[in-house]
């Protein structure tokens, strides 16, 4: 049985590689010089706008005409007019939605599920959208497609709202993406196919099983194992001290994971920003693009936790870092696969994955638990040292690890001291203790990390602190809603009279995961 499991993982890895070679072309590949000119000229304030445009005719014909017009000095040429003439420019899912003055926050969110709903897609030639076969919920604002890790937190709210059919549709869509492309991309766009995001699919399956029953585990086990194979691709051939794609083999033979993106080029949706960041850094451009893309893979784009100097994005070193949150999620994936195997009567397969999970847990404790901070932090495998970054990612292990003889509870009691001292603010928890101007640093708080923090602290014995965080966060959500009629992507938890800021784009409203976490937290607080 052991060899059958290993063989299955290797086969899935081969399928992943094959799926990558058959991927659809990205906008930079389709439009070439036109793409570069549009993104660098900044005719749209947001670089994501052009890559989400749909062509009015074939991409080849548009490119041919563009090159001809551009090279003709007799023609007075407007790039913006050319784009508007040849492309349909997308709008925001929520831009036409106005909240009635007397609408309460719960009613608002329940109405928003319909605004943010998308029906099964139809393929459009030249579009970057990857069609999905079932309905789904988008986050809102500039995010017009499904997003991987966003969707789990959105599902939490859908469950409270009784929208269980939508939860199942979204899980089916993610399984479809795994089976079609070998993994769940960052979002259902061609330009996101070179990377994934934090692996929350196992938690989605777990959530759905809680609604429909344990048969869900058997139904989605093949997809879970394919996702695992994607993240572990290359592990069997690494030598100590080497890394390949998502996998790192430390000098003592320990296997852990890092964030990764297969493409060494600027992100199409943030092309100008990446080109300028690489130029400012003075570093190898391809190396910079890898680090920037890996930051996007992490979902934490961007944060001081990835910066060598803790201040500037030009010092980014994402692919050198073993993140505690990613590895905690993979621990959970291993345990869910083990549980699913056991339910199918495959005891040896279950034992194998339980051992993989236990090995990972021990490795996370060894390399990521800081005896100095009394907190989990990331590990830089190039420097053979912990980063010492204080982030909410440090609470992920408390969401998943077993409390063997009370040890996890003891660790959590120590971590709670740091949380109160460095991260707790009037509106909830800071994402990190650093203020750099990046959106995943202070003074901002984000719904998914607030939820994981509350979940981990509560599970490991710190229920009082967890309740305090949840009350502060939901109160901030309600305050901003009363003042603006909106649920926001992120919030300023330090100064409740100021909006969140930072990052490559304006703060977005909608907003899928904030809606979901608010409803789930309010339900949790009511118990």
Residue positions annotated with a catalytic role:
301, 489
Report CA torsion sign: 44, 50, 52, 56.
positive
Cβ–Cβ under 8 Å, residues 145 and 189: yes
Tokens, residue 334:
């291993």
Cβ–Cβ under 8 Å, residues 464 and 416: no
Cβ–Cβ under 8 Å, residues 338 and 402: no
Task: Give all strands (DSSP E) within 278-381, no chain letters.
Answer: 321-322, 369-370, 375-376, 379-380
Query: What is the DSSP secondary-structure string of 265-288?
Result: S--GGGHHHHHHHHHHHTS-HHHH
Q: Give the three-state DSSP class for 136.
A: strand
Rounded to the nearest 10 degrees, what angle do helices 201-212 and 164-181 cross at?
Answer: 140
Q: Give the three-state DSSP class for 457.
A: helix
Helix residue spans in 136-214 (DSSP H):
148-160, 164-181, 201-212
Tokens, residue 453:
């923090």
**CA dist 102 → 118, 161, 483 (Å):** 27, 20, 12
DSSP strand pairing (321-322 vs 369-370): unpaired
Among 46, 151, 145, 91, which residue's Cα sits nearest to residue 503?
46
Task: Say which DSSP state 381 is in.
Answer: T
Task: Give all strands (DSSP E) within 232-356, no chain letters.
Answer: 243-244, 247-249, 255-257, 321-322
Task: Say which DSSP state 125 is in.
Answer: T
């Amino acid at each position: 049985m052991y060899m059958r499991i290993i063989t299955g993982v290797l086969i899935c890895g081969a399928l992943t590689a094959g799926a990558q070679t058959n991927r659809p072309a990205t906008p930079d590949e389709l439009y070439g010089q036109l793409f570069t000119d549009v993104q660098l000229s900044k005719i749209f304030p947001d670089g994501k706008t052009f890559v989400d445009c749909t062509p009015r005719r074939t991409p080849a014909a548009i490119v041919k005409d563009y090159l001809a017009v551009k090279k003709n000095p007799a023609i007075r040429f407007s790039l913006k007019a050319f784009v508007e003439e040849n492309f349909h420019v997308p709008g925001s899912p929520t831009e036409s939605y106005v909240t009635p003055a007397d609408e309460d926050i719960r009613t608002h969110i329940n109405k928003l599920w319909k605004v943010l709903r998308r029906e099964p897609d139809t393929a459009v030639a030249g579009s970057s959208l990857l069609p999905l076969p079932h309905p789904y919920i988008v986050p809102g604002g500039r995010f017009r497609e499904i997003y991987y890790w966003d969707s789990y937190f959105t599902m939490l709210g859908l469950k409270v709202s009784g929208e269980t059919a939508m939860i199942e549709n979204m899980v089916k869509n993610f399984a479809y993406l795994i089976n079609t492309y070998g993994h769940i991309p960052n979002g259902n766009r061609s330009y996101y196919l070179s990377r994934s995001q934090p692996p929350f699919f196992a938690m989605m399956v777990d959530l759905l099983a809680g609604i429909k029953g344990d048969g869900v585990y058997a139904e989605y086990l093949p997809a879970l194992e394919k996702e695992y194979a994607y993240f572990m691709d290359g592990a069997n051939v690494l030598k100590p001290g080497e890394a390949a794609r998502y996998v790192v083999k430390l000098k003592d033979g320990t296997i852990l994971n890092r964030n990764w993106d297969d493409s060494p080029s600027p992100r199409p949706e943030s092309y100008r920003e990446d080109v300028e960041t690489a130029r400012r850094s003075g570093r190898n451009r391809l190396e910079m693009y890898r680090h920037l893309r890996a930051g996007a893979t992490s979902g934490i784009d961007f944060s001081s936790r990835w910066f060598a100097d803790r201040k500037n994005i030009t010092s980014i070193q994402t692919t050198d870092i073993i993140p505690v949150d990613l590895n905690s999620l993979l621990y959970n994936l291993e345990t869910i696969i083990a549980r699913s195997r056991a339910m199918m009567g495959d005891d040896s397969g279950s034992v194998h994955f339980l051992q993989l999970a236990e090995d990972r847990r021990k490795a996370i404790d060894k390399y990521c638990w800081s005896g100095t901070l009394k907190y989990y932090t990331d590990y830089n495998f190039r420097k053979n040292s912990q980063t010492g970054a204080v982030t909410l990612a440090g609470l992920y292990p408390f969401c998943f690890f077993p409390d063997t003889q009370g040890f996890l509870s003891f660790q959590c009691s120590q971590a709670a001291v740091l949380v109160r001292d460095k991260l707790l603010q009037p509106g909830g928890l800071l994402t990190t203790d650093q203020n750099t101007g990046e959106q995943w640093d202070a003074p901002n708080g984000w719904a998914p990390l607030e939820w994981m923090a509350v979940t981990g602290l509560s599970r490991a014995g710190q229920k009082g602190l967890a309740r305090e965080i949840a009350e502060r966060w939901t109160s901030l959500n309600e305050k901003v809603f009363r003042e603006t009629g909106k649920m926001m992507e992120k919030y300023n938890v330090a100064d409740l009279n100021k909006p969140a800021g930072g990052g490559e784009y304006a703060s977005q409203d909608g907003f899928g995961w904030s809606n979901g976490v608010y409803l789930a937290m309010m339900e949790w607080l009511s118990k």
